[in-house]
């Protein structure tokens, strides 16, 4: 609780860590351009080098395989492209496959034309249909170029963890590429391109307690890389032009260093989530908890209350001092039908409320949430009784 309010929306953005704030403050005082060769420039460059090392440790890759950019959306637009280079040779990708529950930054298809993008179905819990993936890859004409799969590690709304390793095995069998949106997995799941079978990972700083406006594209190697999205003065080894966001990168560094150790406390977060869901079931036996038959992120719960639209519930929670989301916070505050629920065959018109916890949340926070949930649910029941009597 802060200022009398309860924040339960970590999947939208995690509060800025004190260490990240301090690192950004220190970086603001550095006068040099990281590309300059004098002492001031080298001092700025050292901040970027430390951050690159921190993100690399988080993803278990060499530091040279980390490219900083303005965020996960830019990273997606960078890597989702038909044009790659392997050394001096051009590599063509002619087909992009995405699951129907991807973040809009992936569903938009990056630099692929609309007719080059295939949307794959998911099951009732939101997991990629692996048979559909294999069928599309089997029918792909590789003479036109390779196929690429863009797949999230974990869904931002439901928290459902995708079968990434199994998908990677299928993609590799057809000589395709795999891009994994690891934004929600960082600090909550182990990250390694090798273990996941991924060619690229996408990360976002503000999801792990860093500042907004900074992210990274992490590659499994240094040889195969996408054509630059932003061309300029050769920064980031020529992969991303423009003077680096030193202040943002400094904050990202502190957040990545923290995220390396965050898995140590993830079981405690899972315990809070499980207590919360048990309490909701006790108060509202008809509550619908989405994705519970699949493996989920330890911090995420996505639920619907029959007869109560998600946007109405979100406003009610907000008025009671509890910050939650009605789906994903990625459309300038717009609340619309959840494409994730629609893909799962659930009631997308009713919508759902997402609770996403952080390491700072406590059992007292959960009890406060359940008190508010009980109040909102009681109003729902009273309204339904009144409507039935009318």
Distances (CA, A) of 241 to 69, 98, 244, 345: 9, 27, 8, 42
Q: From CA 243, how far away is CA 224, in angstroms rounded? A: 23
Catalytic annotation, pick one of 59, 69, 253, 330? 330
Phi/psi of residue 240, each to 5°? -150, 105
Q: Which value, in Å, is the radius of gyration of the alpha carbons in the chain?
A: 22
Q: Is 59 a catalytic residue?
A: no
Distances (CA, A) of 263 to 208, 266, 301, 358: 12, 5, 18, 12
Q: From CA 359, how far away is CA 373, in angstroms rounded? A: 21
Q: Which of 328, 327, 304 is closest to 376 using CA atoms?
A: 304
> 97: helix, coil or strand?
strand
Q: From CA 99, how far away is CA 152, in angstroms rounded? A: 8
Q: From CA 240, how far away is CA 214, in angstroms rounded? A: 13
Q: Which of 143, 142, 192, 144 is closest to 171 using CA atoms?
A: 142
First CA to last CA distance, the chain: 40
Q: From CA 140, how far away is CA 131, in angstroms rounded? A: 14
Q: Calculate helix-pair angle for 363-389, 310-319, nearest 10 degrees.
A: 130
Cα dihedral sign for 105, 202, 152, 224?
positive
Q: Which of 307, 303, 312, 310 is closest to 370 using CA atoms?
A: 303
How many residues can be counted in the chain?
390
The catalytic residues are 330
């Amino acid at each position: 609780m802060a200022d009398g309010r309860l924040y339960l929306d970590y999947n939208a953005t995690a509060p800025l860590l004190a260490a990240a704030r301090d690192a950004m403050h220190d970086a603001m005082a550095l006068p040099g351009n990281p590309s300059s060769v004098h002492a001031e420039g080298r001092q700025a460059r050292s901040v970027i080098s430390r951050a690159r090392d921190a993100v690399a440790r988080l993803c278990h890759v060499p530091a040279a395989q980390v490219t900083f950019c303005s965020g996960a959306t830019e990273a997606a637009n960078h890597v989702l492209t038909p044009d790659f280079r392997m050394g001096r040779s051009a590599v063509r990708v002619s087909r992009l496959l995405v699951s129907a529950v991807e973040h809009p930054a992936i569903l938009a298809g990056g630099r692929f034309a609309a007719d080059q993008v295939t949307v794959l179905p998911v099951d009732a819990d939101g997991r990629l249909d692996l048979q559909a993936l294999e069928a599309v890859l089997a029918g792909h004409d590789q003479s036109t170029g390779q196929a690429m799969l863009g797949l999230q590690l974990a869904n931002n709304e439901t928290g459902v963890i995708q079968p990434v390793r199994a998908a990677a095995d299928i993609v590799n069998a057809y000589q395709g590429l795999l891009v994994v949106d690891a934004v929600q997995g960082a600090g909550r799941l182990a990250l390694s391109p090798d273990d996941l079978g991924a060619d690229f990972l996408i990360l976002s700083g503000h999801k792990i307690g860093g500042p907004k406006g900074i992210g990274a594209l992490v590659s499994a190697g240094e040889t195969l890389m996408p054509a630059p999205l932003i061309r300029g003065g050769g920064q980031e080894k020529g992969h991303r032009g423009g003077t680096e966001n030193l202040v943002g990168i400094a904050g990202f560094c502190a957040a990545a260093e923290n995220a390396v150790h965050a898995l140590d406390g993830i079981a405690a977060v899972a315990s809070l989530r499980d207590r919360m869901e048990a309490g909701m079931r006790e108060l509202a036996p008809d509550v619908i908890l989405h994705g519970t038959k699949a493996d989920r992120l330890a911090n995420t719960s996505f639920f619907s209350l029959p007869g109560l639209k998600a946007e109405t519930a979100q406003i009610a929670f907000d008025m009671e001092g509890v910050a939650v989301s009605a789906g994903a916070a990625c459309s300038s505050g717009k609340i619309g039908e959840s494409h994730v629920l629609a893909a799962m065959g659930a009631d997308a018109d009713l919508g759902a409320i997402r609770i996403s916890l952080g390491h700072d949340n406590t059992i007292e926070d959960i009890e406060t949430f359940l008190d508010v949930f009980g109040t909102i649910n009681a109003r729902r029941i009273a309204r339904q009784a009144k409507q039935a009597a009318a």
